[in-house]
Structure 1
Amino acid sequence: MEDQYIYETNADNTARFVIGTKGKNPLIVMSINPSVGSPTRTSPTLGTVRHIAADYGYDSWIILCLYPQRATHLNELDQNADPQLVEENEKVIKEILSQFPDHKIWAAWGTHYHARFFFPQCLKKIVEIANEYHESWMHYGPLDEDDTPRYCLYLENGEGWYPFDVEAFLKKTLY
């Protein structure tokens, strides 16, 4: 039986706010920005998240992003954040997190976080939303050299979960 998807994009599909499957105990992932993944088109990132969710006993998975613009390569991403996309993204994130209070969020945005000045600003707002629902953060496998949580695609099964101090990371990276 095909999974029931949670999926929301903007009207012209240039932004994706959420993709996932429905369940009572989802692996909630905070990634950087979406690429091509959809319910009818899988991507390597979606495959990795699916496998890790299943390996660790989650019954579903949900991917949210710091910024919702679809871009497969960093050079395709906006230089400045679109305020309307940011506002809608925050609304969707709040809606999702409100359904799973006291849950853990997998920080999985990778080093591209440092490539746009607005990513830390987006993360700051998302952390405020997550704090409303008493969410905690974790990362999978080792952190990158600058303590950035690794992107969810570049991981090996079995690397394990570790607590992630998102407040300290944000303090260090917010300009």
Structure 2
Amino acid sequence: METTNSNQLFHPENDGMIYQNSPDNKARFVLGTRGNNPLIVMSINPSVGAPDVKSPTVGTVEHIAKDYGYDSWIILCLYPQRATHLDELDEMTNPNWVKENEKVIREVFAQYPDHKIWAAWGTHYKHRYYFPELLSSIAKIAEEYYESWMHYGPLDEGYLPQYCLYLDNGEGWYPYDVNKLLSQSF
């Protein structure tokens, strides 16, 4: 399966956008804007957002990034399959997508080491058995770059960070222990 060359993520010809999807557009690995201090978001999975399509989630991320002094934003996902509804997600992961997703995540973390990552996947995390395994791999990548995690607003039941769409202004940032979540079973 071919994907867009991830070496293009940070090149000037991307017109200020960071974007990579699969050639068939069934997966999106990253969407964002270039800057020196991005709000890095780890969501659950992408839906329709693209450089030319603004989704409600992108609108929320843009707004919160601006409100808290970030000069840009980057949305990554635990699983890159585009799906508007979680019941549309694969029952089993696509290994090519997982490999490419981790490659892109590593590239973003390497570009912005020692950054905080906004954990923003919500209770959707319980929807597929593979989310904990994917998060575990991503957490290991984050540790390589000394990345720490944060959540916005109160946690949902089960120590789950709220999804990045359903938030109220001014709820604030709090440290988040990904390993505490990973030690739980659902």
> Same fold per TM (> 0.5)?
yes
Corresponding residue for residue 24 of structure 1: 36
Corresponding residue for residue 78 of structure 1: 90
Deviations 1:99-151 (A, max 9, x none): 11110000000111001000000000000000000000000000001110000
Corresponding residue for residue 12 of structure 2: none
1:98 and 2:134 matched? no
Residue type matched to 1:72 in 2?
Answer: T
Runs of 4+ in 1 over 4 A off after TM superposition: none
Corresponding residue for residue 48 of structure 1: 60
Unaligned stretches of 5+ in structure 1?
Answer: none
Note the 1:2-21 alignment, pairs <5 A. Answer: 4-21=16-33
Corresponding residue for residue 126 of structure 2: 114
Q: How many residues align?
A: 172
Which of 46, 54, 64 is equivalent to 1:34?
Answer: 46
1:131 and 2:143 matched? yes
CA distance in 1, matches of 2:169, 2:32: 20
* 2:165 counterpart SS class: coil
1:68 and 2:83 matched? no
Calculate percent identity across the aligned residue pairs. Answer: 68
Unaligned stretches of 5+ in structure 2?
Answer: 1-14
CA distance in 2, matches of 1:39, 1:91: 21
Residue type matched to 1:122 in 2?
Answer: L
Corresponding residue for residue 88 of structure 1: 100
CA distance in 2, matches of 1:145, 1:112: 12
Q: How far is the alpha carbon of 1:153 from its aligned partner?
A: 0.0
Residue type matched to 1:55 in 2?
Answer: D
Deviations 1:38-71 (A, max 9, x none): 1101000000000000000000000000000000
Q: How far is the alpha carbon of 1:82 from its aligned partner?
A: 0.8
CA distance in 2, matches of 1:145, 1:17: 28
RMSD: 0.9
Residue type matched to 1:127 in 2?
Answer: A
TM (norm. structure 2) is 0.91
* 2:184 counterpart SS class: helix
* 2:110 counterpart SS class: helix
* 2:183 counterpart SS class: helix
* 2:151 counterpart SS class: strand
* 1:172 counterpart SS class: coil
Residue type matched to 1:19 in 2?
Answer: L
